A = this chain, B = another copy of it.
């Protein structure tokens, strides 16, 4: 029952090519400027194929932005290094996956994108905070604080390409942000 057991179709390759192109365009241009025609051109197919396989533009975005933050298991790790591990993880994810940049760019101008972003971060970061922060009732607040710092750095570094934020090395970024995240997660309420 784990596999849908549907036979592989010839069109699977096309569908996948569309998704790859869509992710790149959404990440580079945001929702409005990423046109179906441009995506189809990148995937070397006709625009009408996009409609056939994904219904409409929003359906394409939903399919293209399916995402798993793959936050590592923190239970077994030393509690004092949670911040460092998290920041490192997110830098890796952002530099190796267009979907994150796409979600950020789209979420700012498109309500569906914003909703998706809220859901992903609330669930996946929230899941971590409940196990780590001292006041479980505050887990959502703590998650929001962590998200604000991580998204802010992603914004400055990968979207706005703010000079000094780009020039900083990975290790510098980690050294500065880790204590912040650590504090948001584990410090007493100020």
Residue numbers in B under 8 Å from A153 (CB-CB): 148, 152
Q: Report Cα–Cα, A168/B142, bound state, in Å.
A: 10
Pair B32/A107 contact, Cβ less than 8 Å? no
Are A121's CB and B32's CB within 8 A?
A: no
Number of interface residues of A (CB under 8 A): 47
In the complex, the answer to whether B155 meets A114 with C-beta atoms within 8 Å is: no
Q: How far is the CA of A64 from the CA of B145 in the complex (A)?
A: 31
Interface pick from A16-24, A69-77, A88-96, A158-166 = A158-166
> Considering the chains assembled together, what is the distance between the CA atoms of A181 and B151 in angstroms?
16
User: Which A residues from 56 to 108 make CB contacts under 8 A with B?
Assistant: 104-105, 107-108
Residues of A bordering B, CB below 8 Å: 29-30, 32-33, 104-105, 107-109, 114, 117-118, 121-122, 140-141, 143-145, 147-153, 155-157, 159-165, 167-168, 172, 175-177, 179-180, 183-184, 190
